[in-house]
Amino acid sequence: MARVALFDPCYLGTLRPADASHAMRVLEALGDEVTLIDGRCCGQPSYNSGFRPEAKRVALSLLREARHHDVIVTTSGSCTSMVTHFVPGLFEGSRRDGAARIARRFREFASYVAAHPGLDSLALMLEGTVVYHDSCHQRRELGGTDEVLTLLGKIELLEVRRLTYEAECCGFGGAFTVKLPEVAAEMMTAKLDDIRASGAKVAVSTDFSCLGHLEAGARGTGQTLETWTIAELLAKALG
């Protein structure tokens, strides 16, 4: 039995509060003993807006909690990328080395599950069709696209469709959507057109930040679109 911590990012806890329970159910089905870390931020909103001292302060709170765990599973590719790639750079000297050691313990949820030795023991089955949205963080910074697609391929009866322009951003980009809303809206519209062309009514992704952006855009244009995180999808597939 592996002992892991599940980091429920602040935005997920607010906007999709059931996601932590979905993720915990999957991890426990794999045989892990899970401790929840919630109510904390990785520092990305402040970091992307140029407020580095503020980002450092909130990231430090997360690292102090995470240091007690050997593996921290995170249900967000963007938060995982922030911690592993950028948080250590907020510190100097020995504190930077310490932050880097803790940061290396963070694993994105889907990639962690895909590599789990207990995965093949799960009976994953869900009849239906979904389209996969590959988030920029998952694809470019974590390089986990193949792992996620392999994981989705383990779900019996599920048809997973790919987007024609899979590598293009959905337009959210954290602070980007606030700083350049017109550009973000155009990118979102293009992504929604791609999703519509797939014929799928459900979009899945490792990042709810992308899904929330697309879901809101779909409502605004009268498009029917349901969104599931990978954790929710897997929980449904468990039955």
Domain of 141, CATH number, reads 3.40.50.1860
Which band of pLDDT confidence, cut at 50, 70 and 90, is reported for residue 1? Answer: low
- Structural domain total, the chain: 2
75 C-beta neighbours (distance < 10 Å), count: 30
User: Is 136 inside a domain boundary?
Assistant: yes
At 222, is the secondary structure helix, strand, or coil?
coil
212 and 140 both lie in a single domain: yes
Give the containing element (helix H, strand E) for 7: strand 3-7
230 and 127 both lie in a single domain: yes
7 C-beta neighbours (distance < 10 Å), count: 30
Domain boundary among 95, 113, 131: 113
Per the CB < 8 A criterion, the answer to whether 21 and 214 are in contact is no
10 and 106 both lie in a single domain: yes
Domain boundary among 56, 79, 113: 113
User: Is 18 inside a domain boundary?
Assistant: yes
Which residue matches tokens 């080395």? 97
User: Is 209 inside a domain boundary?
Assistant: yes
Can you name the residues that pair with 203 across neighbouring β-strands? 131, 227
User: Does pLDDT of 223 surpass 90?
Assistant: no
Average pLDDT over the chain, rounded to an integer? 94
pLDDT tens sequence across 72-87: 999 999 999 999 999 9
109 and 129 both lie in a single domain: no
Which residue matches tokens 């391929």? 153
Per the CB < 8 A criterion, the answer to whether 109 and 83 are in contact is no
Q: Is 57 exposed, middle or buried (0-12, 13-18, 19+ CB in 10 A)?
A: middle
Q: Is the dihedral of CA 32, 135, 176, 85 positive or negative?
A: positive
The Cα 100–Cα 80 span in angstroms is: 13
Average pLDDT value for residue range 171-181: 83
Q: Which residue in 235, 217, 237, 239 sits closest to 22, CA to CA?
A: 235
pLDDT tens sequence across 98-117: 999 999 999 999 999 999 99
31 and 128 both lie in a single domain: no
Can you name the residues that pair with 202 across neighbouring β-strands? 226
Q: Is 121 exposed, middle or buried (0-12, 13-18, 19+ CB in 10 A)?
A: exposed
Q: What is the pTM for the complete model shown?
A: 0.94
The Cα 213–Cα 185 span in angstroms is: 9
User: Is 118 inside a domain boundary?
Assistant: no
Which band of pLDDT confidence, cut at 50, 70 and 90, is reported for residue 53? Answer: very high
User: Does pLDDT of 12 surpass 70?
Assistant: yes
